[in-house]
Amino acid sequence: MEINLISDTVTKPSHEMLQQMFRARVGDDVYKQDPSVNELEEAVAGLFGKEAGLFFPSGTMANQTAIKLHTQPGDELICDKWAHVYNYEGGGAAFNSGVSCRLIDGDRGMITAQQVRDAINPPDFYHSPLTSLVCIENTTNKGGGACYDLQTLRDIKEVCTQNNLKYHLDGARLWNALVAKRQHPRQFGELFDTVSICFSKGLGAPVGSVLVGSKADMNRALRIRKVLGGGMRQAGYLAAAGMYALQHNVGRLEEDHRRAKQLGQLLSQLPWVKSVEPVETNILIFSVRDGYSEAAVIEKLKQKSIFISSMGQGKLRIVTHLDYKEVMHQYVVETLSRFTL
């Protein structure tokens, strides 16, 4: 039994999900004639109270499309220094949109309204790039699954409105935040111009993201997606997996959070662990004491068939997910309790 805790993207579609994919009604989505894709786009848009949605093969493409949608070449976007849009999308903001990133030194990947206000370049000072977009990540990835309070997001929204900035949410793991904080997608739809969400993280689908926004924005996003090579034909087979995930796999994220918290508590009592960052959702980040190496931890756990990943600088990461079952959890708890370096 191999226990892979490197990411929540390692899940494989369940038998039931595959059945729903096999049964999908499909058509050519480039002509907007795929009923399963249309249905998913409408369902997600409806959840967020937005006019329209657009299906994407990846969260990266959905985010990159949003950035292109909201900026002109030479502009600057504001995001946390750990943001996925800056760190893990291959420099796409610069490559696709000719946009630079103004990085904020946030708290576990989360930024504040005051920090955003301070980072805006005066629009009449033509020497500086024009600030045009704020990107928020919720939950934060590198920040260890932290989630925002709605009030902070409302305060940032106010700064955006006052300064004529667009507001995008990278919600790859928004489902985890919704469950952990008992929030509703509509509360995010109200605030943001666009929201991207993923089905291929905690929700267990093999592929798929949706971007939601106004009808006019999604019409423009359709052209951008085409340019990026994201127009797919019988994509309904993939959309069906997303629909299955939406219907069956959101509520159970609670279990992933519970297990991550249990592991966090356990680790904080072990002599070789220096610190454990607060666990709010399904991501657990901890660091080893000076004199111990992360590589050694990874290697020794691997010998017990448990796979976790390194984040550098003495930090390690565990991510719980749909395919991490209770029996595996019991085994990991036992193994860690007796684990010595």
Residues that bind ligand PLP (CB under 6 A): 58-60, 63, 84, 137, 141, 170, 172, 198, 200-201, 209
**Shortest distance, position 228 Cβ to ligand PLP, whole Å:** 12
**Shortest distance, position 176 Cβ to ligand PLP, whole Å:** 10
CA distance 28 to 45: 21
Question: Nearer to ligand PLP by C-beta: 111 or 198?
Answer: 198
**Shortest distance, position 58 Cβ to ligand PLP, whole Å:** 3
Residue 283 contacts residue 309 (beta carbons within 8 Å): no
Question: Nearer to ligand PLP by C-beta: 9 or 163?
Answer: 9
Question: Nearer to ligand PLP by C-beta: 122 or 278?
Answer: 278
Question: Nearer to ligand PLP by C-beta: 121 or 176?
Answer: 176
Alpha-carbon dihedral sign for residues 86, 241, 57, 221: negative
Residues 6+ apart with CB under 8 A from 168: 63, 66, 67, 70, 133, 134, 135, 136, 192, 193, 194, 195, 196
Q: Could you identify the residue written with the tokens 């993207």? A: 9
Question: Nearer to ligand PLP by C-beta: 54 or 273?
Answer: 54
Question: Nearer to ligand PLP by C-beta: 109 or 264?
Answer: 109
**Shortest distance, position 87 Cβ to ligand PLP, whole Å:** 9
Q: Find the residue with minimal CB distance to ligand PLP.
A: 59
Question: Nearer to ligand PLP by C-beta: 191 or 336?
Answer: 191
- What angle (nearest 5°) sits at the alpha carbon of residue 242, between those of residues 307 and 32? 140
**Shortest distance, position 320 Cβ to ligand PLP, whole Å:** 15
**Shortest distance, position 123 Cβ to ligand PLP, whole Å:** 28
Question: Nearer to ligand PLP by C-beta: 84 or 166?
Answer: 84
CA distance 62 to 264: 32
**Shortest distance, position 94 Cβ to ligand PLP, whole Å:** 17
What φ, ψ does residue 285 adopt, rounded to 5°? -115, 130
**Shortest distance, position 89 Cβ to ligand PLP, whole Å:** 7
Give the burial class of 86: count Cβ atoms within 10 A of its Cβ; 0-12 exposed, 13-18 middle, 19 or more buried: buried
**DSSP letters along 156-196, please?**
HHHHHHHTT-EEEEEETTHHHHHHHHT--HHHHHTT-SEEE
What φ, ψ does residue 180 adopt, rounded to 5°? -65, -40
Q: What is the dihedral of CA 45, 49, 52, 56, to 10 degrees?
A: -30
Give the burial class of 299: count Cβ atoms within 10 A of its Cβ; 0-12 exposed, 13-18 middle, 19 or more buried: exposed
